[in-house]
Structure 1
């Protein structure tokens, strides 16, 4: 697909049962003689040549198909048709596709390869972006997922609407992926900034997928976000899968004990042990398989925050946001908020795993908006209509941990603690010496059993 395969070959590789939808719209230019809304000289002839070259009537094909077992509406671009450009008739087709998705309650998959808006249709072409954005918004409001595959190239309005506006963005290796097309960039621009790899590093793409793996990866995403068997005409938020996720069982530290810690400082030491199981171990034990989101869509990623969707062994889909024991950066909080809001819209329960000494507090974090990012995570949890379950698996450090903790449904393992602040910081604020840190830990009542007694957590989970 990175070699710009014909659109039919792309569709055959993903959904062999592709059935094209009616094109929609009028017949302007259908015979190859009309020169479009601007009466652009030679436009009709160019369209006729594009049809002869590709065998297609427009730059976009829309229809239904089954991707690795999950039905979906597919929007696929033919780059050889006038550079996959968006014009009025392409807008007609995309609108028809979204209407079909809402009527049949199907997810939307956009297979994008476009240079942007069609010059020969002027502002009529550009306003199709508003039309596409409106249809995407209606589909989003209907509780249906939208996934994009960025092929080569994905630029201009196609990236800014169908691509970047999707819930999950996959990209093919080496694909050009940018708002600025190749012919309108500054001559001294760094080419890497316009590629899929750079966009992944900047948190704008969730994963780069080789063509041979695309069907399987896309199929797993579709099965997670649009589970089969959802009753037509109903909102996912009303379905049975909105029951709360069960908290994972405690995995326990090798050679450790499931007994509660005897002192506050003992609880801190257990939570900070390098041998204690981390988020990855919990996620592996909890899910049969999972797919991860990457990045906050604002230019940042946090490798210490895992966010995505997984399939439990009982067949349920659960969303997860997991801290991995490091200070959580603004990008981590924004990615978690993105995950929670997507799960809420799709009616999928959420599991959060708390394990952080706190929010990152260095100068880079402040410049990146630490306060607003933490506020965004608090707001996403507070606004969530789906149930959220939290398990504290290690350090619960102050507001950076509380921002991902479910009010009224937080649990803890014997290896965890939760505190208003780290004991060392509390001692410093209270002007106590280093020899008072252990006593301060006791005074904070941060042990699992203390937290149960205080009503901060519901209970301590066992192995």
Structure 2
């Protein structure tokens, strides 16, 4: 949080807009329905307070809406003026927001909201609260039109503003130290820790995608807008293999290779495949799985979405974050790459309480129903349904380091009541090697190494 925001001197809406955008042109305010001097519910003194807010801020309402360019991308910008009744939403705020969203759909432009609000305006009662329904409808229509929405949540972003424009955006960026939450500081339960309502806490809980200092915001916004508005022509090819170049002789060798600490992991494949990328974080349900990397990257001049398992057991939050990415990419027409690498889905008591079965079902459904092409590459362990859920039917490749199995050989031996020493034999009988997967029709082919890159040294299986 900046010092100005800490002591209450928050940047004005137009200053925040000017910091991120060029060539800003304000949209005309829509005609306002006549109402009494003290507003729609006759709040005593509201008219005078409204006049003081206009004089103090130079604005007619709590939002400034217009069209500008962020790093070359034309967008509709919505800037909140916190000095105007705490950036609260009233009837005429709703009029302006509806007009801004409508303009975005007419012009096929992304929407960027620079939010700083305390929620709905008390002096307009339920007429103010009902604006949340209008905003939600406009956001839904814009989503249906296939246009991206990015929110920058500033200090503070609480109440209905967080529950619509903020949390409802496709990508949520937050100002450092900003107060963010549905409950504002004056209405929280007594004794609640203030840090639980900060940008950093919301990032840790999977409710925002990044905390971005003001100086870096224009560049980060520009990167996101470039990614979300320039899909690659799909389907995209799978990455080249980065590890072993020869096929395993036995099933157990395939398993040992996939489990080797020296095998290339998801981050190495993403770095090799993309020129640059941005991550989305969290499932928007309070969960983050560091073992599933999701986001969008630039490859060969276009944007590709990615879901990459990083070799750990995938938690429910990981599957739900993957679904969030898949559905956003599908809506924006962006092809997707999935990297499969997990010993299986998490199956402890915490995972069961968090609905791991339902989360896997959602992942299967998202892959099955996607209208954009999905390319999958098995880069390591392919443990049971937790791996298969993110593998595209008919468009899955495998590296020489990968194996796919109905379950791990150890678990299969236990299920079949075999002695532990029979695990290698079980691995052989499961036909899980890369060449077996191709022969069985599970994988299309074993991917080769990049012909232009010398083969790396690969550590022996552990």
TM-score (norm 2): 0.94
Corresponding residue number in structure 1 for 2:52: 49
SS of 1:52 mapped into structure 2: helix
Contact 2:235 2:375 in 1 (8 A): yes
**2: CA distance between counterparts of 1:100 and 1:383?**
30
**2: CA distance between counterparts of 1:294 and 1:458?**
31
**1: CA distance between counterparts of 2:33 and 2:143?**
30
Corresponding residue number in structure 2 for 1:237: none
The answer as to 2:309 corresponding to 1:303 is no
2:271 to 284, 300, 307: 284
Q: Deviations over 1:331-384 (max 9, x none)?
A: 000000110000000000010000000001111111111111111111111110
CA displacement at 1:27 relative to structure 2: 6.0
Corresponding residue number in structure 1 for 2:380: 394
Corresponding residue number in structure 1 for 2:226: 223
Corresponding residue number in structure 2 for 1:376: 362
The answer as to 2:10 corresponding to 1:15 is no
**2: CA distance between counterparts of 1:387 and 1:186?**
47
Contact 1:28 1:36 in 2 (8 A): no
CA displacement at 1:193 relative to structure 2: 1.6
SS of 2:23 mapped into structure 1: coil
**1: CA distance between counterparts of 2:43 and 2:415?**
72
SS of 1:392 mapped into structure 2: strand
The answer as to 2:111 corresponding to 1:120 is no
**2: CA distance between counterparts of 1:414 and 1:69?**
42
**2: CA distance between counterparts of 1:342 and 1:18?**
28
Structure 1 runs, 4 residues or longer, greater than 4 Å off = none
**2: CA distance between counterparts of 1:79 and 1:264?**
63
Contact 2:119 2:160 in 1 (8 A): yes
Corresponding residue number in structure 1 for 2:459: none
Corresponding residue number in structure 1 for 2:241: 250
Corresponding residue number in structure 2 for 1:67: 70
Contact 2:159 2:184 in 1 (8 A): yes
**2: CA distance between counterparts of 1:343 and 1:359?**
23
Corresponding residue number in structure 2 for 1:404: 390
SS of 1:44 mapped into structure 2: helix
**1: CA distance between counterparts of 2:392 and 2:216?**
36
SS of 1:86 mapped into structure 2: coil
**1: CA distance between counterparts of 2:133 and 2:110?**
21
SS of 1:274 mapped into structure 2: coil
SS of 1:18 mapped into structure 2: strand
The answer as to 2:158 corresponding to 1:176 is no
SS of 1:276 mapped into structure 2: coil
CA displacement at 1:25 relative to structure 2: 3.0
SS of 2:380 mapped into structure 1: strand
**1: CA distance between counterparts of 2:147 and 2:436?**
43
Corresponding residue number in structure 1 for 2:39: 36
SS of 1:360 mapped into structure 2: coil
**1: CA distance between counterparts of 2:315 and 2:31?**
48
**1: CA distance between counterparts of 2:233 and 2:144?**
18
Equivalent positions of 1:418-437 (< 5 A) are 418-437=404-423
Contact 2:251 2:433 in 1 (8 A): yes
2:403 to 417, 424, 428: 417
Contact 2:233 2:302 in 1 (8 A): no
**2: CA distance between counterparts of 1:339 and 1:364?**
24
Note the residue ranges of structure 1 that are not aligned, 5 or more in a row. 228-239
Corresponding residue number in structure 2 for 1:135: 138
